[in-house]
Amino acid sequence: MIDTHTPLDFGCGHCQPDSAEAAAEATRGFEFVHRLIDESHYIVSIKRCPHCTQAYLSVFTETIDWIGGEDPQYRTLLPITADETQMLAAHGERVSDSALNALGPQRRSLCIDYPRDGGKRMFWNTGMCIGPHD
């Protein structure tokens, strides 16, 4: 399916600012809508910006590496449509990684990377990228 949305179709200045760091800070105030998968190292949920009600698919992954206690973590937030929100909620915990990865391949997404070495990175990317998880 071709994604015909543009970045301007999603969010507001609060949740879609130019700076990835500002966007990451804004996600702290997002409201919880649905929890799809809730495992200790893999959490998939739908959250919403309280300013414009834009829904976001949020995927958190963590890999236990048994080195020094700081395990690599990765989070991607992708704005999603109302139809996608309904589809994901209907699939619930049965939603697959491939179905999540297929959403909005050309849409701007926020990535927050906490590598083991502690050098936290926040950056804009496109599409959904599910990191490795246990």
> Could you report the per-residue pLDDT of 106-124, keeping only the tens digit for each?
999 999 998 877 688 999 9
Count how many residues are written for the chain.
134
Grade residue 2 by pLDDT with cuts at 50, 70 and 90: very low
Grade residue 1 by pLDDT with cuts at 50, 70 and 90: very low
Contact between 55 and 80 (Cβ < 8 Å): yes
Please provide residue 83's backbone torsions phi and psi, each rounded to the nearest 5 degrees: -65, -40
Look at residue 14 in the predicted model and tell me its pLDDT: 95
What is the arithmetic mean of pLDDT over 33-60?
Answer: 95
Look at residue 68 in the predicted model and tell me its pLDDT: 66
Q: How far apart are CA 26 and CA 19, in angstroms?
A: 11
Look at residue 111 in the predicted model and tell me its pLDDT: 95
Q: Which residues pair with 60 in a beta bridge?
A: 43, 75
Q: Is the model's pLDDT at 131 over the cut of 80?
A: no
Q: How far apart are CA 124 and CA 19, in angstroms?
A: 8
Question: How many Cα atoms sit within 13 Å of 110 on the Cβ side?
Answer: 24
What is the arithmetic mean of pLDDT over 93-103?
Answer: 91
What is the arithmetic mean of pLDDT over 31-60?
Answer: 95
85: left (phi over 0), alpha (psi -120 to 50) or beta: alpha
- Please, what is the average pLDDT of the chain? 88
Closest among 41, 14, 1 to 110, alpha carbons compared: 14
98-108 burial, b for 16+ CB within 10 Å, e for fewer? eebeebbeebb
